[in-house]
Structure 1
Amino acid sequence: MAEQRRNQRPSGGRPTGGGRPSSPRSGDSRSSERGGRPDRGGRQDGPRSDSRGDSRGDSRSDSRGGPRSDSRGDSRGRSDSSSRGGAPRAKKSYGPQGAGGGRYVEKEAPRSADQAVYDGPELPAEITGKELEHNVLAQLKTLPEKLASRVARHLVAAGELIDDDPETAYQHTLAARARAPRLAVVREAAGEAAYAAGHYAEALADLRAAKRMSGATAYLPIMADCHRALGQPEQALKLAKSPSVANFEPEARAEMTIVEAGARRDMGQMDAALRTLELAPLQSKSRAPWVVRLRYAYADTLETAGRTTDALAWFHRTDAVDSDELTDAAERAAILEKTQRD
């Protein structure tokens, strides 16, 4: 199951976390064999000089009249990018004249925006791509070997950066997506990295695509949180009521509960938000992160509803199981205590 990264404060505001893109689900068996590097186009030849007189300014015409232009394209009518839409190749032009006549000098053409995305951020030499989980590597085997290796390296780099530099992680997943857009494993990675970087519309689009390809439903909590971030709480509630949620593991179910309660709060339905959380296993003896987040969400909602005494009690209960300090429950409790004393 893909790791689900949610809010440090999961009860209210905008989502701030994404999922690690190095552990997604199954890919699409129809993965593109066209996923290699886009064709960079053909060379634009300089002026020809041969016995047929091109360099003398002769405009060659075929038997029907008019300038000749063959299907391969050259200086007689060809543009400097290929018909397949590849990035322009570096143009060649005459340089300084020497004893042997003119010579061609390379002039580097600027990269287009699409080419920059395709290239992606620089890949560290120590990343090989083999660091991915075996099930992910197996899905990438549907691609040509060199292409699979490049996609794998971008996914590994994204996974390493997603917590500390989510924007660069997202750029790595875009480079992987540009090469293999038909693999669910890649679309999930792009969606989770976009979520971590705060690109919620893009995250929603990629996770929808991944869901269509793989049939997986574990993306639903993140998708619902994206709807919240986009100001669409009603859509978040629709996903929260999906039949598949009943079959979720406890962690995923808790995440969806938190998002559902947040959507209710967005709509001003504070009592409904509290009821949603009260139906969750708040009293669980587990110290798992999902229990911490559930309790924190409940405490935060109680405080927002004006029930400060109850909120203080639940911030303390949250802090009691938050050994990894996932939340600021201790600080919130201290603030409430001070407020009550004053």
Structure 2
Amino acid sequence: MPIEEGVTGKELDREVWTQLRTLTKENAEGVAQHLVMVAIRLAEDDLDAAMGHAETVVRRAGRVPAAREAMGMVAYRQGDFARALTEFRTVRRLSGSSHLLPLMVDCERGLGRGDRALALATSLEARELGAAEQAELLIVVAGVRRDLGQIDAAVLMLERAVYGPPRPWSARLYYAYADALTEKGDVDGARKWFAMAAAADTELVTDAAERLDELDGIIVVDLHDDLDEDDDFEDHEDFEDDEDENVDDAGTIDAVGIDDRDREPEPAQDRDA
């Protein structure tokens, strides 16, 4: 898989480079470049290319936890929860770290194994997670409760977490709480917390603003189509000028084809966070 110009591998943090020290210098540098490319392609939502780089990384550094984590993240984004879960388990075994536990629980959820997801979420290692991972785990577990039809339990879990000082993960917590309130039918509460999520979401990791607009009955349209129509109108005016120039003395007009491309503007599609 090709490496983009300017990608050196030095973009990785020190912890990953520590893992790569088990490799030869040349191999470590190559693996680092492919790991950066995995992140770039995931950000671009080019999952096939991301998988290609991840497979190269695993082939060259299969015992490195960061390599297996990269593979797991791509599989997770692809919706291949069985493969992702296998990779995340391998990362845990190789590194001794449980930081991927929220994603492992979500994989169990994605596989339709709610009971196993809840059992993993309440395991001893789950209690040892840091604050950020605990917040992510809470969001996932609330989703499991909703899958099981336990909406009140999901709302109560999230309600206990959303109050307090803002944290880097607050936007996602607010969003999850608003989404659960929507399912429960509390439109006013959902509006309040979608607004809170939108205000806190400085990195645009959720579609809280769009969800808030939906609740307020605001329809967002793609203005690009309107601009296309304006361009067509200007082209049509130019054509009319050409027509005047093409009229001969007998009053005949040269035949010119008109491409009628008038369209109604289409509403932008939202996505769930």
TM-score (norm 2): 0.72
C-alpha spacing 1:154/1:331, structure 2 compared with 1 (3 Å): closer
The one-letter code matched in structure 1 to 2:107 is: C
How far, CA to CA, are the matches of 1:330 and 1:317 in structure 2?
10
Q: 2:119 aligns with which of 219, 238, 242?
A: 238
Match of 1:130 in 2: 10
Are 1:309 and 2:188 matched, yes or no?
yes
Which is helix-richer, 1 or 2?
A: 2
1:287 offset after TM fit, Å?
Answer: 5.4
Match of 2:71 in 1: 190
Residues 77-116 of structure 1 mapped to structure 2, 5 A cutoff:
none
How far, CA to CA, are the matches of 2:27 and 2:5 in structure 1?
16
1:170 offset after TM fit, Å?
Answer: 2.2
How far, CA to CA, are the matches of 1:151 and 1:244 in structure 2?
30
How far, CA to CA, are the matches of 2:200 and 2:81 in structure 1?
31
Query: Is the CA contact (8 Å cut-off) linking 1:287 and 1:321 kept in structure 2?
Result: no
1:134-185 deviation digits (Å, cap 9, x = unpaired): 3322322212333223222211211222211233122211111012212222
How far, CA to CA, are the matches of 1:335 and 1:144 in structure 2?
54
The one-letter code matched in structure 1 to 2:75 is: A
The one-letter code matched in structure 1 to 2:12 is: L
Q: Secondary structure in 2 aligned to 1:279?
A: helix
Query: Is the CA contact (8 Å cut-off) linking 2:58 and 2:71 kept in structure 1?
Result: yes
What percent of counterpart residues are identical?
41
Q: 1:157 aligns with which of 32, 37, 56?
A: 37
Match of 1:202 in 2: 83
1:174-205 deviation digits (Å, cap 9, x = unpaired): 11101221222211121122223332221111
Query: Is the CA contact (8 Å cut-off) linking 1:170 and 1:197 kept in structure 2?
Result: no
Query: Is the CA contact (8 Å cut-off) linking 2:72 and 2:83 kept in structure 1?
Result: yes
5+ residue gaps, structure 2? 219-273
Residues 286-297 of structure 1 mapped to structure 2, 5 A cutoff:
286=166, 288=168, 290-297=169-176
Query: Is the CA contact (8 Å cut-off) linking 1:236 and 1:259 kept in structure 2?
Result: no
How far, CA to CA, are the matches of 1:172 and 1:279 in structure 2?
41
Q: Which has the higher contact order (CA 8 A, sep 6+)?
A: 1
Match of 1:176 in 2: 57
- The number of residue pairs the alignment matches comes to 217
How far, CA to CA, are the matches of 2:171 and 2:103 in structure 1?
18
TM-score (norm 1): 0.59
Q: Secondary structure in 1 aligned to 2:216?
A: helix
Are 1:148 and 2:28 matched, yes or no?
yes
Query: Is the CA contact (8 Å cut-off) linking 2:19 and 2:65 kept in structure 1?
Result: no
How far, CA to CA, are the matches of 1:287 and 1:142 in structure 2?
36
How far, CA to CA, are the matches of 1:182 and 1:262 in structure 2?
33
How far, CA to CA, are the matches of 1:225 and 1:308 in structure 2?
27
Query: Which structure: larger Rg?
Result: 1
How far, CA to CA, are the matches of 2:201 and 2:8 in structure 1?
36
How far, CA to CA, are the matches of 1:159 and 1:322 in structure 2?
21
Match of 1:105 in 2: none
How far, CA to CA, are the matches of 1:135 and 1:301 in structure 2?
37
C-alpha spacing 1:184/1:329, structure 2 compared with 1 (3 Å): closer
The one-letter code matched in structure 2 to 1:327 is: T
Match of 2:177 in 1: 298
5+ residue gaps, structure 1? 1-120
Q: Secondary structure in 2 aligned to 1:136?
A: helix
Query: Is the CA contact (8 Å cut-off) linking 1:270 and 1:305 kept in structure 2?
Result: yes
Q: 1:218 aligns with which of 79, 92, 99?
A: 99
Q: Secondary structure in 2 aligned to 1:143?
A: coil
The one-letter code matched in structure 1 to 2:206 is: T
The one-letter code matched in structure 2 to 1:291 is: S
Match of 2:228 in 1: none
How far, CA to CA, are the matches of 2:129 and 2:26 in structure 1?
37
